[in-house]
Amino acid sequence: MTAGAERASRARRVTHLPWRRLAAVDWVLLVAVLAALAAGTAMIYSATLRGEAVERLWDDLVVKQLVFALISILVLVLFALTEYRVLLALHLWIYGAMLIPLVLLPTVGQTMLGARRWFTAGGIALQPSELTKIAMIIFLAAYFERHDIRRVRTVVGSLAFVGLAMFLVLIQPNLSTAILLGFIWLGMAFAAGIRPVHLSILVFGAAPLAWLALTSQLIKAYQLDRIRFWLNPEADPGFRGYQAIQTVIAVGNGGMWGTGYASGMQAQGGWLVVPFTDNIFAIVAEELGFVGSLAFLSLLFFILQRIFRAARSAQDYPGGLIIAGVGTYLTAQIFVNIGVVLQIFPVTGISLPFISYGGSSLIAAMAAIGMVQSVLLRRRPLEFR
């Protein structure tokens, strides 16, 4: 073959390379995520119908969510195109970059709703703890690849890294996200092959740690009140038990078929607390009923099923750990959010992935999906023909 013919052949191979990579994308997962995003935006519109007219278009929460959706899709594509092994190689830098905003928050962060969790600029609030979830998944996948999880020092070392992040999140205060970071560690350690005896020791050791958190006032009094009034919301129906009571009423109003889209008595009457974020599933239950709620849940669980299915086809061990971390993160957050609405858990501020309003939470969830796609894109070597 002449030199010119060889160059032409190589050019044809490079031209076909992206199309071969596209065949490895989980398009079903991608379509399901976009469907959940569209459904969530529709429910945010319903949740904000009774709000006062805004002076600027940017103040409309639906418009903001659409902008966040476009940004998050770009983030998904960026993470999918990024070689996940590069992220693993940079895990220490990523961990360090994650700590910087968490350390700065207590001094320069914006206080909203009694917590200092956000940086604000130009009418946009960024919540660093949301992005901490993604950074911890990358860090733990790299850490467990380099250290044997069956050894005690690996378990202790990984817990030390996660514990530091949990502490910085907890003092904001943000107990729900701190607990979620713990769940991410647990899911990834289990996927990595932690020994049952080590896991048992950790479970039994959790009691003195909980006592330490209580006595050192890391857990605030109002957070303990949430547990007390979760068990008995009628003891203070006008204040600390208010949210629990109103969400239960909303769910009960929905019945089998719901009151109709944008026709919920609790949502449109202004009885629900932050209905477009933490309590958006209460609006789904009231306006779309049991059938509509089941459809939403089925879509979210289908997304989770596709993620855990992808873990089985990962090309290597750390790639599988990344997907396991993503699956654990989204499963725990969905379960807790819906559990709070249904009063299975005490009231806590945690969003419903892909459905709730919020730029930081949406970008984090879409970045997680992008990492899953990155692993899938590289699950087998490309062949040239």
The answer to whether 373 and 25 have CB atoms below 8 angstroms apart is yes
Q: By 3-state DSSP, what share of the chain in percent is helix, strand and coil, each rounded to 5?
A: 70, 5, 25
Q: Identify the residue whose tokens are 């009423």.
A: 249
- Where are the domains positioned within the chain? 27-82+221-385, 90-219
Cα–Cα distance list, 170 to 102, 229, 284 (Å) = 10, 21, 30
Per-residue pLDDT tens, the chain, 385 aa: give them: 455 554 444 444 434 445 566 778 899 999 999 999 999 999 999 988 876 666 677 778 899 999 999 999 999 999 999 999 999 999 999 999 999 999 998 888 777 766 677 787 666 778 899 999 999 999 999 999 999 999 999 999 999 999 999 999 988 888 889 999 999 999 999 999 999 998 888 877 776 766 666 666 666 666 667 777 777 787 777 777 888 888 989 999 999 999 999 888 887 887 888 889 889 999 999 999 999 999 999 999 999 999 999 998 888 999 999 999 999 999 999 999 999 999 888 878 789 999 999 999 999 999 999 999 999 998 754 333 3
3-class DSSP state for residue 194?
Answer: coil
pTM metric for this prediction: 0.89
Cα–Cα distance list, 372 to 25, 72, 161, 317 (Å) = 9, 15, 23, 13
